[in-house]
Structure 1
Amino acid sequence: MEQSLHRYPSPDGLRVLMASSEAHPLIKTGGLADVAGSLPIALRDLGQDARLILPAYPRAARQLREPKTLCEIKVPGARSSVRILSGSLPDHDLPVYLVDAPEHFAREGNPYTDLSGRDWGDNAERFLLFSRVVAQLAQGLPALDWRPDVLHTNDWQTGLAPALLKDVPGRPATVFTIHNLAYQGLFDRATFDRIGLPSSLWGMTGLEFHQRLSFIKGGIVFSDRVNTVSPTYAQEVCTPSRGCGLDGLLRQIGTRFSGILNGIDYREWDPAVDPLILQPYDQGNFGLKAENKLDLQREFGLTRNEGAFLLGYVGRLVEQKGMDLILGILPGLLQDPDVQCVIQASGERPLELAIQTLAAAHPRQVGVSFGYDETRAHRIEAGCDAFLMPSRFEPCGLNQLYSLRYGTPPIVHRTGGLADTVVHASPAALDEGRATGFLFDAPTADSLWQGVQQALTLYRGNPEGWRRLAVTGMARDFSWEASARCYLQLYADAIAERRLAGAQSTQPEAA
């Protein structure tokens, strides 16, 4: 590893430009923001020169520390010049570049949808422009006096950048990370014709996907290395049942595709020093966690009862996340007056209405908060006894990692990153001190019910066993450092691939 990186010239380590459509704490809708806000910092901690670029949404621009205009550039498809703003994260010296194109990004709220929850009608134009700017910056801008060795793009919103760079001499190595293959950035052929992409990019070997334009396919086809966010999910998406129509392509690229497990930022998520919770605690004083439980019950208007079994959920209300499975079992669970549930979620309106109806029928047992609130998410992790995560599929998942750190054993479907990070509380694993949570094998309400019943039985019947389960999870190391080292190796592989391809392209043809 050290030898391979040593060959690449940079006194400040490998130069990495990470492109993302969101990054915590500037703007966040999901796990992508956590990764984009944490991985570059972990890379810098390892001595690399990592930097971040994302659109200049108003919320992001307001939070940028020491912002200044770096330059203005001409971009095809933009009516006026695009400003590049530079600064850093509010709480870290990570260099950040914002793409300031008001016509495309000066919209309050969600980066992808309007206030009614519908996709912005010009998303193709918006993220093509972003990809064009990323591709320009990856080639080096005079005002920047910096050029990356590796361009690391993430999800469909940045997938066109590697495609735009494919024939650029001396381009950086490219890495593309799939955070959720179900979101592909699909548009009709008329959109492809309208937005001005080179006609050579249309076709089965380019951006065409069943006669539609696929942004994510650009990242997969044209990047030197492609990965997703857990080893098990990488295997799953190579099958027809989980590949969302792209399994054949992922199998075809072979060893260029892999899985690297996400980490979490223990500076943000550590119950021993978390300023957002009432009572800090750690493995040595696990009993103090109960104070956070009582505080959470008070906050949500639940019966204050330290002995109640309090379940938590934080996430989106979409089919993938399995909220319908939770709703399928809660009426039965709530017949027990000492079972409670706290939910923080947003998404599909029918699920919101169903949760509201349930909470209205059980106001002292069910607490609900719609929307995302970072502070409340911390308090739910610290205050609940167990965390529900019955996702039908889960590329990596972060909430189960937060739950482990906070001694809140997760109850999860055995899939993707959940299977990679949670050790099931089988009798043998409990006896050996390896268990950290509960896994069930089928994404059904019955299987989830069995998982919750197993957790409830251990919680009530063996309090010391429950404490050992919780503190074992707290001791697991899912910090970003290990993941960042894996990404360094991926970058080295991408650079080697790029150099090999460049050498082959310059060889004279045989007579």
Structure 2
Amino acid sequence: MNRDLSLPPQRVLFASGVIPELHGCSETAEFIATLPRALSESGHDVRLIVPAYTPMLARTNDHIQVSRVRLPGTHREARILRGQTEQNGILYLVDIPGNPGQSGDQVLSDAVHCGLFSRIVALVAINQAGINWQPDLLHCAGWQSALAISLLAGEWSRPATIYSMHEANHHYCQNEHIKALSLPVELLKSGALEMGGQFSFEKGAILTADELLLPSDGYRHELLLNPDAHPLAPLLKERADRLASIPSSIDYQRWSPTTDPHLEQHYDSSSFELKKLNRQRLLGELGLQLEDRDLLISFLATDHNGADSEQILGLLESLAPDTPVHILAAGRGADPLLQPLLDNVERFPRLSVHTLDDSGGWHRMLAGSDCLLLPAPYYPSAQQAQCALGYGTVPIAHATASIDEAVTDATPANLLHGTANGFLYADATVGELTDAVMRASKLYAKPPIWWEKLAVQGMEQNFQVRDSLTAYLQCYQSAIDNPATTPVH
């Protein structure tokens, strides 16, 4: 991959509380796994800083301690460990006593832990954390690291800052969380974090970042036109001149059925018939018995919207008893979004709920399923749909503006012209979802060549990150050249 020589190489620090090893199904994790590597391969000095979650600390031989930092308002210290990413890039792990993954009486809440992590990210960004390196730009992805941007707003020697949003949900913090962080009085008085008696790290980042990024042109359009689409949509509209959108991309070194190490049977668009072997192995792994004519639809629990489970239960209620459809829902650990489905497994024989215990579980589900269900009211990007398309797994999706960027509905005309790759429905209602599933089931019941043509059309699309790399670099240069004025002094 060749970088654009018209743009100088940058020193970029990526900060995120979401990592592929533990949160590999989320859009933020995919973003963190994809863009830093592409930038590094293009000649930029890219480093990633994340919390030192317990499973990562277990690999003690992979990391060395490079610094210790006093936690604000406490007598405790956090360690900064240096290691390598899977792509041999530089990785910093911030080990904070009371990590939510640890045991003991001093375990911190997620909000406090992420706030402390953000405070250390801010120190690294201004070269005050003892690692002897300062970035030109800090790119924070997700609310877990967002506080670092508003903490830096009043620093004269700060790097440029970019905040990118990858979740449709919004995370609030309470007064006790803010007190535990010992935040600067100037930041608290500015009102940059306050939201109706609660607090938001994300609000502070949106208010003070030099540039803001969304992973979809369609989602940007939705947020600017619909103030109800997100609690921070009105604030984003106020900063529309600094709100850019770059469509999400896929890391095909991690998400390709031709090389995926988690699959026992590889395949591509020219050997699509081999995909059915992954279905057989997935059913055996999960102990499911389905007929060949049963359409297997996977659903991955995410925090896009808690109403997804209600939609699925409504779908199962609406389907005729003899409809050859099976829903396979999955999530990580004790995911509360799965609980409504778990409570109804005995009512619906066509519903299975499983826990993804390893990083390859989602890969095997994609390869072994016929369809991927995406029923949320809003999706910041089409990333899940893009992954599914690459595996020949046909999306059944609510036609949000971001989903429309990757999925074309299987209307008779689109099927005839070979442009269809999924099933879309306009309104997020049980009735329209049921109609879309029935359309998919009817097509699946036709001779296999019909379904193969639809799936292969999706497999032959391409969402390479290199196609959007120049757009990211231009956004970075804009943040460096045009720092925002800040309300925090």
Structural mapping, 1:260-339, within 5 Å: 260-316=246-302, 319-320=305-306, 322-333=308-319, 335-336=321-322, 338-339=324-325
Q: Contact 1:236 / 1:242 at 8 angstroms: preserved in 2?
A: no
Aligned equivalents of 1:462, 1:488: Cα separation in 2:
47
> CA 1:336–1:354 in 2, change beyond 3 Å: closer, same or farther?
same
Q: Alpha-carbon deviations, 1:79-138, whole Å to 9, x = none?
A: 22221100012x3202110111223455269xxxx9xxxxx8644432221111111111
Which of 354, 368, 373 aligns to 2:343? It is 354
Structural mapping, 1:143-292, within 5 Å: 143-188=130-175, 191-193=177-179, 195-202=181-188, 206-292=192-278
| Structure 1 residue 372: Cα displacement | 5.0
- Alignment size in residue pairs: 480
SS of the residue corresponding to residue 17 of structure 1 reads strand
The residue that corresponds to 2:114 in the other structure is 127
Which of 355, 358, 365 aligns to 1:380? It is 365
| Structure 1 residue 410: Cα displacement | 0.4
| Matching residue's letter, 1:268 | R
SS of the residue corresponding to residue 83 of structure 2 reads strand
Aligned equivalents of 1:419, 1:44: Cα separation in 2:
31
Which of 98, 101, 114 aligns to 2:96? It is 101
The residue that corresponds to 2:479 in the other structure is 494
Identify the structure with bigger relative contact order (alpha carbons < 8 Å, sequence gap 6+). 2
Q: Alpha-carbon deviations, 1:189-235, whole Å to 9, x = none?
A: x5445532222223575222223222111110111001122111122
Q: Contact 1:27 / 1:59 at 8 angstroms: preserved in 2?
A: no
Structural mapping, 1:21-170, within 5 Å: 21-25=17-21, 28=24, 30-63=26-59, 66-89=62-85, 91-104=86-99, 107=102, 122-141=109-128, 143-170=130-157
> CA 1:77–1:451 in 2, change beyond 3 Å: closer, same or farther?
same
Which of 354, 359, 364 aligns to 1:369? It is 354
| Structure 1 residue 283: Cα displacement | 0.5
2:462 corresponds to 1:466:
no
Q: Alpha-carbon deviations, 1:433-453, whole Å to 9, x = none?
A: 221111101111100011111
| Structure 1 residue 145: Cα displacement | 3.0
Aligned equivalents of 2:362, 2:328: Cα separation in 1:
10
Q: Alpha-carbon deviations, 1:33-53, whole Å to 9, x = none?
A: 222222211211222211100
Give the gaps of 5 or more residues in structure 1. Answer: 7-12, 115-119, 503-511
Aligned equivalents of 2:432, 2:88: Cα separation in 1:
46
Q: Contact 1:317 / 1:351 at 8 angstroms: preserved in 2?
A: no
SS of the residue corresponding to residue 313 of structure 1 reads strand
Q: Alpha-carbon deviations, 1:325-375, whole Å to 9, x = none?
A: 1221224546226332322133246413334224xx52xx44331355432
Aligned equivalents of 1:63, 1:316: Cα separation in 2:
28
Aligned equivalents of 1:331, 1:501: Cα separation in 2:
54
> CA 1:444–1:437 in 2, change beyond 3 Å: closer, same or farther?
same
| Structure 1 residue 183: Cα displacement | 2.0
Aligned equivalents of 1:437, 1:64: Cα separation in 2:
45
Aligned equivalents of 2:324, 2:80: Cα separation in 1:
55
Please, what TM-score do these two structures have when normalized by structure 1? 0.86
> CA 1:193–1:288 in 2, change beyond 3 Å: closer, same or farther?
closer
The residue that corresponds to 2:463 in the other structure is 478
Q: Contact 1:236 / 1:243 at 8 angstroms: preserved in 2?
A: yes
Aligned equivalents of 2:408, 2:130: Cα separation in 1:
50
Please, what TM-score do these two structures have when normalized by structure 2? 0.90
Q: Contact 2:100 / 2:110 at 8 angstroms: preserved in 1?
A: no
Q: Contact 2:82 / 2:92 at 8 angstroms: preserved in 1?
A: yes
The residue that corresponds to 1:117 in the other structure is none
The Cα RMSD (Å) is 2.7
SS of the residue corresponding to residue 382 of structure 1 reads helix
Aligned equivalents of 2:318, 2:485: Cα separation in 1:
60
> CA 1:460–1:191 in 2, change beyond 3 Å: closer, same or farther?
closer
The residue that corresponds to 1:410 in the other structure is 395
Q: Percent identity?
A: 32
| Structure 1 residue 478: Cα displacement | 1.6
Q: Contact 2:372 / 2:385 at 8 angstroms: preserved in 1?
A: yes
Which of 11, 16, 22 aligns to 2:12? It is 16
Aligned equivalents of 1:48, 1:428: Cα separation in 2:
46
Aligned equivalents of 2:77, 2:299: Cα separation in 1:
44
Q: Contact 1:293 / 1:382 at 8 angstroms: preserved in 2?
A: yes
Aligned equivalents of 1:63, 1:242: Cα separation in 2:
44
The residue that corresponds to 1:509 in the other structure is none
| Matching residue's letter, 1:38 | T
SS of the residue corresponding to residue 202 of structure 1 reads helix
Q: Contact 1:315 / 1:321 at 8 angstroms: preserved in 2?
A: no
> CA 1:417–1:62 in 2, change beyond 3 Å: closer, same or farther?
farther
Q: Single out whichever of 319-328 and 419-428 deviates more from structure 2.
A: 319-328
> CA 1:315–1:193 in 2, change beyond 3 Å: closer, same or farther?
closer
> CA 1:153–1:317 in 2, change beyond 3 Å: closer, same or farther?
closer
Q: Contact 2:328 / 2:352 at 8 angstroms: preserved in 1?
A: yes
SS of the residue corresponding to residue 311 of structure 1 reads strand
2:421 corresponds to 1:436:
yes
> CA 1:416–1:200 in 2, change beyond 3 Å: closer, same or farther?
farther
Q: Single out whichever of 473-482 and 346-355 deviates more from structure 2.
A: 346-355
Aligned equivalents of 2:405, 2:307: Cα separation in 1:
17
Q: Alpha-carbon deviations, 1:225-251, whole Å to 9, x = none?
A: 011221111222234454433222111
Aligned equivalents of 1:88, 1:461: Cα separation in 2:
49
